[in-house]
Chain A
């Protein structure tokens, strides 16, 4: 018999992606690529005022146009579609997918057109005439908190969605009792206190594929298929089933190829509900495709959290206490996770340090802006930014090396699992190791000498360093109203090929590759024999979705569990064929054989065939090879790392240039280091974008001033130096893979590192802090007058 080829182990290898052949040929299918017979197109008429009462809507001209199938006002939609659900337990004002009588942000839908093609639908939307009684726009966050200039939702006085929720040392688990004595004592004995107001500005997530929906209700079957550019088709299915009244067994949700999400495609949007409801109402397939300029107002924004940070320390650098007062501008409504995002900022305030006493408070405020929700990092970059900026300011105040200040305060490896002041249990960590590797890779001392030499020539060069720890692998069911598990089903087909489903729903993460690597190793078969299925609730029976860097840590663990169950059963069939004990079998090189005698084995495919025609059926076994698993993690994971940057600022123009970006990230065990690198690159790009060029800006009337890529700067290739990556590996005990998750890491350490570099470069001008983004004009003013940047007072 022929000798089976030896298959290499794939986990840990830089395996090329299996998704790529279709994508590089233009053969992927994204939502807007779907065309169904009889499909009509939806365009939303959107409010052009930020705040106002709808006085009148005249749809007669639109309805009279050739090719227009239907026009619905918000009031008409409300007759067959209920209010939008949210996913958090916080109190929330009623939110209609299409405004009924009041609009609360510019871009809020007020009417819907259904027409034969997108051009006609747009013409018809333009022909709808809406008049408003405009109301004062609530734009300024801190003014909004005083109820000025007006109150947006009458049931929420002073525009407070959440008023001053405390967390941290001395706060009971249910928040009912608050003891400030430890925090007060820490500040009372402080030898130095750093106090700074810092703005973590509003961003537009800007996945390259705007959102889109196709809904196809089949009246005969009383069932709905909905395709959407979403990160979590199973959650979409649940909500669509509830809002259409169809039930989850009658709704199939499909996330086809999804062109990026970055958190903004977690939320289930009004456009999804409306498209589904109209398809059901009219009994025809309908499509909505978001324009980019529409995406800037209609897709949730990220960040927009103001922090008042106070850090207490001894003069030797020992940190004694931390206070952060957080005020989040959440826009006009609560969306799916809106209210929960800033709570993650509180949760991660302990950062990587032993801080004996921490008090955070959180206030969330409604304004007349697009609602916020998750954006890559979702609350954790904000926490990292606030704490690490304060640490950098402390180092500067104490004239300590920023690395040494961190080292002095680190949580030590022996302290894990570490219970933080914020109620989190950090799973594992070795922060000093990551710091040391980053310092070594950056050649920190040499870099300081280079900076000083450049300064001696009059150049404005600065260095910045930041640590981070994030919460990933989200995350036990107690933490998520949807459940925090993930699901997988592994099937050995009759021909010996393997199909496996995962409830993780990738949109660029490459799970078809990493998950196939894992199964190939688990079953000892070639990766080409494996297909990973995802993103279709008709095929993937259960799932939660992809967010919070959970695909590998939760979804990968479910996959491995399901694989293990099937493998155990397959071993029983093989044992019967080989007249051996199942515990003595090995699966390798496409064979199942008794350990030590591969020549006597049976091919993987022949055992599979036997399992489906089991003559004779081994006692105690059912035919077939298919099993599923739900993995419920016992905890979140807490990846960490260190980011070092070097920046030069042009003395004449204030233009900053990032010269170096050195990152050491510890995401635990890595399945595919190539894909991990890609994830970190992408995260760094978005973090650098936030630090240097991205900012959503509204004017005083609540009009979005950054409503296209002409005004909102997402980074281009020329904006980056070559990233210098490295990794330490501290596995997590929370899941059987030891993998922590890496999707968001790059957005965490980069912003404080870069701002620290800018402050360092301009330290000769007396500046202590500069709010993001690092607009050249802002830096130029500091250089000119020695004036402090916006928010630069300390």
Chain B
């Protein structure tokens, strides 16, 4: 077992984990931050995307021990309680979700997308979220949601 410590959504969280425990399982099962989802086991779908040290990362492909000392932001910590991040607002306004399962990961991926490219073209948005799968929306309303956030930012 390994002792780890990381800052998650602004709080220092410590854990005693099996070295093989995935970061996503540490977040979901030890910290009970279940907004981060698991949609595959091959790093394709992006449902588990969180921010590690400010960059989007697929938490199913990082061991918890690798995130030791990092700063992690999950969907629960994206906006202060009661507020919505412009991307969350965009997803609501533009009907960017249906079942909602891919949504947290999609939003966290879009955070980095807009950080790197605050005014992306539609093509750039579509390429930028291609590491994240959505089976419900056909992506058009997700693109609109990200455009909404970009226009607000």
Most buried by A among B25, B88, B99, B107: B99
Query: What separation, in Å, do the CA atoms of A544 and B103 have in the docked complex?
Result: 28
Say which residue of B74, B100, B127 sits within 8 Å of A28 (CB atoms): B100
Residues of B within 8 Å of A708, CB to CB, are 40-42, 44
The reply to whether B42 and A720 contact each other, CB–CB distance below 8 Å, is no
**Of A119, A257, A723, A746, the contact of B100 (CB 8 Å cutoff):** A257
Is the Cβ of B92 less than 8 Å from the Cβ of A24? yes
Minimal beta-carbon separation of B25 from chain A (angstroms) = 8
Cβ-neighbour of A718 out of B75, B102, B126, B138 (below 8 A): B126
* Nearest-Cβ distance from residue A677 to partner chain B, whole angstroms: 7
Bound-complex Cα distance A59 to B76 (A): 42
User: Is there contact, CB below 8 Å, between B98 and A678?
Assistant: yes
A682 contacts across to B, CB distance below 8 A:
98, 135-138
CB of B138 within 8 A of CB of A26, answer no
Decide if A709 touches B42 in the complex (CB within 8 Å): yes
Asked if A709 and B97 sit within 8 Å, CB to CB, the answer is no
Within 8 A of B (CB), among A255-286: 257-260, 262
A535 CB, nearest partner CB in chain B, Å = 13
Q: Which residue on chain A has the smallest CB distance to residue B89?
A: A24
Which of A17, A257, A259, A507 is the one whose CB lies under 8 Å from B95? A17
Q: A693 CB to closest chain B CB, in angstroms?
A: 13
Q: Quick one: which of A32, A507, A678 contacts B137, CB cutoff 8 A? A: A678
Q: Point out the residues of chain A lying under 8 angstroms from B47, CB to CB.
A: 208
Quick check: is B31 within 8 A (CB to CB) of the other chain? no
Q: Tell me whether B38 is interfacial, beta carbon within 8 Å.
A: yes
A221 contacts across to B, CB distance below 8 A: none
| Chain B 117-153: CB-based contact to A (< 8 A → 1; otherwise 0) | 0000011011101100111111111110000000000
Residue numbers in A under 8 Å from B75 (CB-CB): 24-26
A710 partner residues in chain B, CB cutoff 8 A: 42, 44
Q: Render A110-122 as a binary contact track against B, CB cut-off 8 A, 1 for contact.
A: 0000000011000
Inter-subunit contact B40/A508 (CB<8 Å):
no
Q: A30-B37, A717-B126 are in contact. Are A208 and B138 (CB under 8 A)?
A: no
Min distance, Cβ B37 to any Cβ of chain A, angstroms: 7
CB < 8 Å: which of B74, B99, B139 contacts A26?
Answer: B74
- How many interface contacts (CB-CB < 8 Å) are there between A and B? 175
- With a cutoff of 8 Å between Cβ atoms, the chain B residues found around residue A210 in the complex are 38-39
Within the complex, the shortest CB–CB distance from A26 to chain B, in Å, comes to: 2
* A540-570 at interface with B (beta carbon < 8 Å): none
| A140 sits at the interface (CB 8 A) | no
Q: Interface code B3-44, partner A: CB below 8 Å = 1, 0 otherwise? A: 000000000000000101100010011001111111111101
Residues of B within 8 A of A23 (CB): 97, 100, 103
The answer, among A118, A258, A262, A291, for a CB contact under 8 Å with B135, is A262
Q: CA of A25 to CA of B122 in the docked complex: distance in angstroms?
A: 25
Cα-based distance from A35 to B140 in the complex (angstroms): 35
Q: Does B101 contact A (CB under 8 A)?
A: yes
B95 with A678: CB separation less than 8 A:
yes
Task: Tell me the bound Cα distance from A260 to B102 in angstroms.
Answer: 10
Interfacial chain B residues near A26, Cβ < 8 Å: 33-36, 74-76, 104
CB-CB under 8 A for A678 and B141, given A20-B97, A26-B36, A208-B102: yes
A26-B36, A26-B74, A717-B139 given; A709·B98 CB < 8 A: no
Q: How far is the CA of A16 from the CA of B93 in the complex (A)?
A: 6
Task: Check if B45 is an interface residue, CB within 8 A of chain A.
Answer: yes
A209 with B140: CB separation less than 8 A: no
Bound CA span A30–B138, Å: 22
Q: For the complex, is A358 an interface residue (Cβ under 8 Å from B)?
A: no
CB distance from B84 to the nearest CB of A (A): 7
Q: Check if A292 is an interface residue, CB within 8 A of chain B.
A: yes
- Residues on A with C-beta less than 8 A from B41 are 291-293, 708
10 closest A-B pairs by CB:
A26-B35, A259-B101, A23-B100, A508-B99, A685-B138, A508-B98, A681-B138, A26-B75, A709-B44, A33-B34
15 pairs, CB–CB < 8 Å, chain A vs chain B: A16-B95, A17-B92, A26-B33, A28-B35, A32-B38, A33-B34, A206-B135, A508-B98, A674-B95, A678-B98, A708-B44, A717-B125, A717-B129, A717-B142, A723-B138
